[in-house]
A = this chain, B = another copy of it.
Amino acid sequence: MDLTLMGQAAKQAAFQLATASTAQKNKALSIIADELEANANTILAANAQDIELGRQAGLTDALLDRLLLNESRLEGIAADVRNVINLNDPVGSEIDSKILENGMSLSRRRVPLGVVGVIYEARPNVTIDIAALCLKTGNASILRGGKETFFSNMELVKVIQSALEKAGLPAASVQYIEKPDRELVSQLLKLDEYVDMIIPRGGAGLHKMCKENSTIPVIIGGFGISHIFVDETADLAKSIDVIENAKVQRPSACNSLDTLLVHEKIAAEFLPKLAEQLGEKVALVVEPTAKAILGENPQVRDAQEGDFDTEWLSYTLGIKVVTDIAEAIDHMQVHNASHSDAIMTESIRNAELFINSAGSAAVYVNASTRFTDGAQFGLGAEVAVSTQKLHARGPMGLEELTSYKWVGKADYLIRS
């Protein structure tokens, strides 16, 4: 398997996709959705093979569940593809059009990025999802899924490539790295001559590996400690509802609350009420001032070194009492506030200070951190959640799968 050849084929396909009409791209998507349903038996049989091998390899039930396809999940995946058809195609729209003094009409036109490399883990739906979003935006993609989904992905990619050809688009618009060698991932990360962007969808280790080895720009995302600061002016009862939502609605999500910072003037009243509402299912990890207020309690344990740098992803909440908003901001700057953070306050001044000081991709005033999500933000699709600052930050939709080119039109104009 020669990744250079794959890169060249992808780049060639990308040139064709760049001038494909929205109608043609939508036609391919429509055929993909239809063929997923028409080939359900083959796909589910391949998936059963993956499940059987996974069981033999001792995968956990949770992992097996992520891996599993069935009729209804496959219908869901097809429905998601049809949803992408209905999204607006950003390619070709122009931004910042203007006429220069010399008469040139100048604008920035949205164009596909070119070739997107995606490295992901177990879930087979990602294969269809990312291929569909790349296709809609005129990008070729090179996919590399987890080895646990090998047989499922082979069938899914076969469906995609056959649909592409039926729609008159190159099959190489979506390619899949079949062999499990990790060496091939390293090769992919060096294909900067052909690949324009790498999206890792997986754990922190995968992101770190991509950042350290890629010569292609990488979208780093998904990590960071989430904080809520309860200011002295906040409505306490409503703040408790928001904190409960941010912590318990889906603790495994990366936008769920990790650390609560409470203004000292309200801490004595606020913390006991909060502990009561959260109940026994949430463990509270507290520094001494909070401990003094909450007292000995099976729900409470003393914070240790590193606790305020921990993404809990579970029913655990760090709590610290601070003297004011400045101390809250200092704490957040030291403890990697880079994903989703919120302030509960009635003060416009403190709200603005918090918004501008927090180094987070998403900052909320009187709202749960759980809103950081492409669907919640109305993007229609979510390619990834970026926590870096270049290109795109926070939830990435279709527009973030595009670049732009400058287009200048004139009447045989020369530069003087």
Contacts and interface: CB of A to CB of B under 8 A. Distances in A.
Interface of A: 15, 18-19, 92, 98, 100, 104, 106, 109, 111, 113-114, 192, 196-197, 211-212, 215, 217, 235, 238-239, 241-242, 244-246, 249, 333, 344, 351, 353, 355-368, 370-372, 376-378, 388-391, 393-395, 403-415
Nearest 5 interchain pairs by C-beta: A238-B412, A245-B414, A389-B403, A367-B410, A362-B406
A388 B215 CA distance: 12
B245 A390 contact: no
A406 B366 CA distance: 14
A368 B414 contact: yes
A333 B317 CA distance: 54
Interface centre among A217, A241, A353 (most CB of B within 10 A): A217
Given A217-B217, A353-B19, A393-B405, A211 B192 contact: yes
A210 to B, nearest CB: 10
Contacts of A414: 241-242, 244-246, 249, 367-368, 370
Given A245-B414, A362-B407, 5 more contacts: A113-B390, A114-B359, A196-B388, A241-B412, A367-B410
Contacts of A106: 377-378
Nearest to A112: B389
A405 B235 CA distance: 25
A248 to B, nearest CB: 11
Count the copies.
2
A390 B393 contact: no
Contacts of A388: 196, 217
A9 B132 CA distance: 44
A242 B406 contact: no
B109 A415 contact: no
Given A406-B393, A407-B363, A413 B368 contact: yes
A19 B352 CA distance: 10
Given A104-B371, A371-B415, A393-B404, A409 B351 contact: yes
Contacts of A403: 389-390, 393
Nearest to A336: B193
A393 to B, nearest CB: 6
Given A19-B353, A405-B360, A412 B111 contact: no
A258 to B, nearest CB: 16
B366 A409 contact: yes
A177 to B, nearest CB: 22
A262 to B, nearest CB: 16
Nearest to A238: B412
Nearest to A19: B356
Nearest to A104: B367
A344 B399 CA distance: 31
A18 B360 CA distance: 12
Contacts of A360: 405
B378 A409 contact: no
Contact of A411 (B366, B395, B404, B407): B366
